[in-house]
């Protein structure tokens, strides 16, 4: 029996053909810092469409990238109910791009089936002109100011530099993020703009940075090199929080100086290989500035995750002799972006140092992993079939949460066990599903009753999978168990064994239920066994420490 098995995303991803084939090319640091928008892992095969969402009449994109783009646009429509189309035309003649875009949007019928919730991007390749038309029922969220700023400070740079693919992807990402905010009634917060102005004003006034912001020049990508002052200022800090605040300042300054020691060496190289625009740096800052977050520091690694925004992704940090550095590569490897699902990102169980160290913070939500006390609000999905499917999953999770059962992470269980020091205690791990038709659990319940009568602390934890949790209280009552129903959230592989080992309880990668451990008043484990069917030895060990 191995409750610690890490279930993949396959059940969800295969159902909707969201299956790994190859990762999309890394684009930029993303929300919450440095995960890949390109981590959309779609099948490149899409069904034939009478009205494709990407119309490339100028052969701007290779065929595979065109199919990828079509699939992403389709998934965004399923998620948000917004009809987004892109059209590349060789040249617009005889009319302005404004006239052409309005005429084409009406002819195609963009937003006609979505309640005037549509966005139409048109790019004139010959004249390097880009135009966006927004449907009437989206203007509240995708304002003229927002769309104009997006095009001027981001999309135009990519298109003008001959990188339409990256311009397409980054533009989609920012529009999609605003639509996601709208579903959760998150209004536009302008505080980050004031922060940008303050940071740049200080830089120009003789602060640590010696390079002035570029102002309105967006003709090329940001590729500034750091001077001695920048390297000294954007350096590792003595605390994780201080390094994160330096990172926000780095975003606000808008130079994209990737050769600063605030980032790990590998991260500097990765960042230097990705294009960046002023608009996308401002966007990243807007996602994180003013958000609440939690920092968990353990030895030489740390994680920072947000607690009031379900979209902002976590940051990972590494301590060196110089201080705490941001590990962008770890963020790329340990998070995955999603679209068309109730959550915009998931943690990966990679097994690297970060995943091993912080595995006890991982909380399963269906087949995804999130931080247990992070912001895990799900997105409402527009597509009826998709909403019904994920609705069933989320309903099961909600039912488990509402059941008369306490849910704990492995970390919380270990803390509860450690808190009993000063009194003898018995720790029990059991799988009720595997014991339903045996006499063993009845014997265990009677033994636990006798132990509690002698003043011993009995801590029992069910390791049942989520679907069985609602029946746990009834199961305990039927067998006369005196201990309350407490269930452990599913955990990444190896987490239970590693966490319990810190208090002297050794489990192994696989184990037999029930597991019983007896601890004396100092917390020393004097007896432990798995697959116990006779509790005489446990009782004897307990008498020796009372």
For residue 403, the Cα-to-chain-centroid distance in whole angstroms is: 27
**Which residue, of 149, 183, 217, is where some domain finishes?**
183
pLDDT recorded at residue 39 = 35
The residue length of the chain stands at 546
**Which residue, of 370, 400, 430, is where some domain finishes?**
400
Distance CA 196, CA 250 (A): 10
Interior angle at CA 95, CA 89 and CA 99, nearest 5: 85
Q: For 25-62, what is each residue's pLDDT tens digit? A: 334 443 333 333 333 333 333 333 445 888 888 888 88
Q: Which of these, 289, 314, 308, 456, lies nearest to 371 by C-alpha position?
A: 314
**Which residue, of 353, 380, 400, is where some domain finishes?**
400
Same domain (yes/no): 228, 367 = yes
* Contacts for 127 with CB less than 8 Å, ≥ 6 apart: 91, 92, 97
Confirm whether 23 is domain-assigned: no
pLDDT recorded at residue 356 = 93
pLDDT recorded at residue 437 = 54
Same domain (yes/no): 214, 150 = no
Distance CA 72, CA 340 (A): 9
Same domain (yes/no): 249, 141 = no
pLDDT recorded at residue 485 = 93
Confirm whether 40 is domain-assigned: no
pLDDT recorded at residue 379 = 87
Same domain (yes/no): 96, 205 = no
- The per-residue DSSP string of 46-86 comes to ----SS-SEEETT--S-HHHHHHHHHHHHHHHHHH--EEEE
Average pLDDT taken over every residue of the chain: 82
Distance CA 110, CA 136 (A): 11
User: What's the domain count of the chain?
Assistant: 3
Same domain (yes/no): 153, 253 = no
270, 328 Cβ separation under 8 angstroms: yes
Percent over 70 (pLDDT), the chain: 85
Q: What is the pTM of this model?
A: 0.80
The pair of structure tokens assigned to 426 is 């018995």
CB atoms inside a 10 Å sphere around CB 390: 22
Q: Residue 503: give the domain boundaries.
A: 406-543
511, 488 Cβ separation under 8 angstroms: no
Q: For 316-342, what is each residue's pLDDT tens digit? A: 999 999 999 999 999 999 999 888 888
pLDDT recorded at residue 36 = 32
Confirm whether 123 is domain-assigned: yes
Give backbone dihedrals phi and psi of 540, rounded to 5 degrees, phi first. Answer: -65, -40
Confirm whether 379 is domain-assigned: yes
Low-confidence ranges of the chain (pLDDT < 50): 1-50, 204-219
Distance CA 465, CA 406 (A): 14
């Amino acid at each position: 029996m191995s409750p610690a098995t890490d279930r993949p995303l396959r059940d969800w991803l295969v159902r909707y053909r969201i299956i790994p084939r190859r990762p999309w090319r890394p684009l930029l640091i993303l929300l919450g810092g440095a995960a890949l928008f390109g981590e959309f892992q779609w099948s490149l095969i899409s069904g034939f469409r009478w009205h494709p969402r990407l119309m490339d009449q100028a052969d701007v994109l290779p065929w595979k990238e065109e199919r990828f783009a079509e699939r992403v646009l389709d998934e965004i429509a399923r998620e948000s109910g917004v009809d987004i189309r892109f059209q590349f035309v060789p040249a617009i003649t005889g009319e302005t791009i404004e006239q052409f875009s309005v005429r084409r949007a009406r002819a195609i019928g963009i937003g006609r089936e979505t309640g005037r919730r549509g966005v139409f991007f048109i790019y004139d390749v010959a004249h390097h002109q880009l135009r966006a038309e927004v449907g009437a029922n989206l203007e509240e969220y995708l304002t003229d100011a927002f769309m104009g700023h997006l095009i001027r400070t981001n999309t135009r740079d990519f298109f003008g530099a001959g990188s339409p693919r990256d311009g397409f992807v980054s533009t989609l990402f920012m529009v999609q993020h605003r639509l996601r905010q709208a579903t959760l009634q998150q209004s536009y917060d302008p505080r980050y703009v004031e922060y940008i102005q303050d940071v740049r004003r200080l830089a120009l006034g003789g602060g640590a940075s010696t390079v002035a912001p570029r102002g309105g020049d967006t003709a090329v990508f940001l590729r500034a090199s750091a001077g001695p002052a920048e390297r000294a200022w954007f350096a590792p800090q003595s605390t994780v929080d201080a390094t994160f605040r330096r990172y926000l300042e780095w975003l606000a300054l808008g130079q994209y100086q990737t050769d600063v020691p605030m980032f790990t060496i590998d991260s500097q190289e990765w960042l230097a290989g990705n294009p960046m625009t002023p608009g996308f740096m401002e966007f990243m800052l807007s996602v994180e500035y003013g958000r609440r977050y939690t920092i968990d520091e353990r030895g030489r690694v740390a994680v920072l995750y947000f607690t009031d925004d379900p979209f902002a992704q976590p940051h990972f940090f590494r301590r060196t002799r110089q201080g705490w550095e941001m590990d962008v590569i770890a963020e790329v490897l340990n998070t995955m972006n999603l679209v068309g699902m109730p959550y915009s990102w998931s943690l990966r169980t990679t097994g690297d140092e970060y995943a091993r160290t912080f595995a006890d913070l991982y909380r399963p939500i269906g087949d995804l992993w999130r931080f247990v006390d992070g912001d895990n609000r799900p997105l409402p999905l527009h597509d009826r079939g998709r909403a019904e499917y994920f609705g069933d999953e989320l309903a099961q999770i909600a039912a488990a949460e509402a059941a008369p059962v306490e849910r704990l992470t492995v970390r919380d269980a270990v803390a509860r066990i450690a808190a009993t020091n000063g009194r003898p205690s018995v720790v029990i791990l059991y799988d009720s599903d595997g014991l339903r038709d045996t006499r063993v659990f009845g014997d265990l319940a009677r033994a636990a009753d006798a132990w509690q009568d002698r003043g011993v602390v009995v801590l029992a934890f069910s390791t049942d999978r989520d679907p069985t949790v609602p029946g746990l209280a009834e199961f305990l009552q039927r067998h006369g168990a005196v201990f309350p129903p407490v269930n452990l959230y599913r955990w990444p592989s190896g987490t239970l064994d590693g966490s319990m080992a810190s208090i002297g309880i050794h489990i192994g990668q696989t184990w037999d239920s029930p597991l019983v451990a007896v601890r004396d008043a100092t917390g020393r484990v004097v007896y432990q066994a798995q697959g116990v069917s006779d509790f005489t030895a446990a009782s004897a060990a307990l008498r020796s420490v009372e």
